[in-house]
Amino acid sequence: MAERPIYLDHFASTPIDPRVLDAMLPYLKDRYGHPGSRSHVYGWEAEQALEAARARVADLIHADPAEIVFTSGGTEADNLAVKGVAEAYASRGRHVVTSAVEARPVLDATQALADRAGGVVTRVPVDARGRLDEAAFAAALHPDTVLACVTAADAEVGTIQPIAACGAACATAGVLLHVEAAYASPWVSLDVRSDGVHLLSLSAHRLGGPKGAGALYVRRREPRVRLVPLFHGGGHERGLRPGAPDVAAVVGFGVAAELARVEREARSRRVAALRDRFESMIRARLAGVTAHGDPRGRLPNVSSLAFDGVEAEALLMGMPTVAASSGAGCTSATLEPSHVLRALGVPDPVAHQTVRFSLGFQTTDLEIDRAIEAVLAAVARVRSLGAPPPVRPHG
């Protein structure tokens, strides 16, 4: 059996932590009750498991468990936040503000408001590092603005955004703030209270949990956020997300959230060191390599590199021993250049030469060493077909 590639696409999805899987298995086998069944032990077990997971997810972002609404994933959470607020507060206005580097579900949901409901969307620019222009963000908030959306860290170059500053601006303007935190949550400490966040989206499969589970934090006081649900039936999750929850997936989500909270600092230090070694070795031995993003203010696990003279798709096909990506998990099915790189001012030809390598807390030193050699060899092969920049000697 062929050896599986080195996995450096953790931004797209992460492998399930073995401890998470162990916690899920009983709810896939023997504990199969519905948490809404209140008359027998099967239902009691499911409800207790659901509420324990809710508390763990809440602890990850310093929220109250009653403020956590479980969803099928981050995309549903984003849509519930954007569309739920827009409909609930339609009488106030239809203006929504986002950053130019939002996750695709947020961009698409806000664009749908503009296209179908007569809404107006303002996209606030970022600088060449991918950082939001705070002054432009504050200036974009108008009396008819009902919602502002800012990603905690983008899905391409991982630049960390000034959420607390955005929260303060929204508080001054009386605007609700939604934060997409799926990519940041494994690596960055999030505090919805101190940062002034009103809604926040999470995804289990991006922090060592299973696919099919996500959550939306919905503030309950100062102010209490109102939402109109996307669909109806059953009254589950405070009436905001009806339907029988996937208890096993939610249990796994809870354990993954607790592990991320407890192990975050140690994971971040180790993975950042691996990422830095990966980048420095490649850039020391290859000319014509450009790194995107903020070198001092990005997530510790991402490296977005453009290789002169090498199309990203050709490079990915030329190194089958490494699994990486030419775009975010939500957008890599399209051949369009990344909207994040475009927002950074990266020319389309350079964007098409960019590969995103994203590490995980399970990535090993040996895997990084092997990946470095694979990238060097693949770039050399692809460049040999054209007119490559010179390869720097090792050492």
Question: Where in the sequence numbering do the catalytic residues fall?
Answer: 330
Calpha distance 362→376 (Å, rounded): 23
Helix axes 41-61, 247-285, angle to 10 degrees: 30
Calpha distance 147→378 (Å, rounded): 45
DSSP tag of 174: T
> Which of 108-116's residues contact partners 24+ apart within 8 Å by CB, and which partners?
109/78, 109/79, 109/82, 109/83, 110/82, 110/149, 112/83, 113/82, 113/83, 113/86
What's the one-letter identity of residue 201? S
In angstroms, the Cα distances linking 50 to 9, 56, 122, 234 are: 30, 10, 38, 17
In angstroms, the Cα distances linking 281 to 142, 285, 289, 337, 380 are: 48, 6, 11, 27, 15
Residues in a beta bridge with 307: 289
**Strands 176-180 and 145-151, how do they pair?**
parallel
CB 151 within 8 A of CB 178: no
Calpha distance 182→299 (Å, rounded): 12
Phi-psi label, residue 210: left if phi above 0, alpha if psi -120 to 50, beta otherwise:
beta
Helix axes 74-88, 104-117, angle to 10 degrees: 30
Question: What residues contact 48, with CB distance under 8 A and at least 6 apart?
Answer: none
Tokens of 257: 């959230």
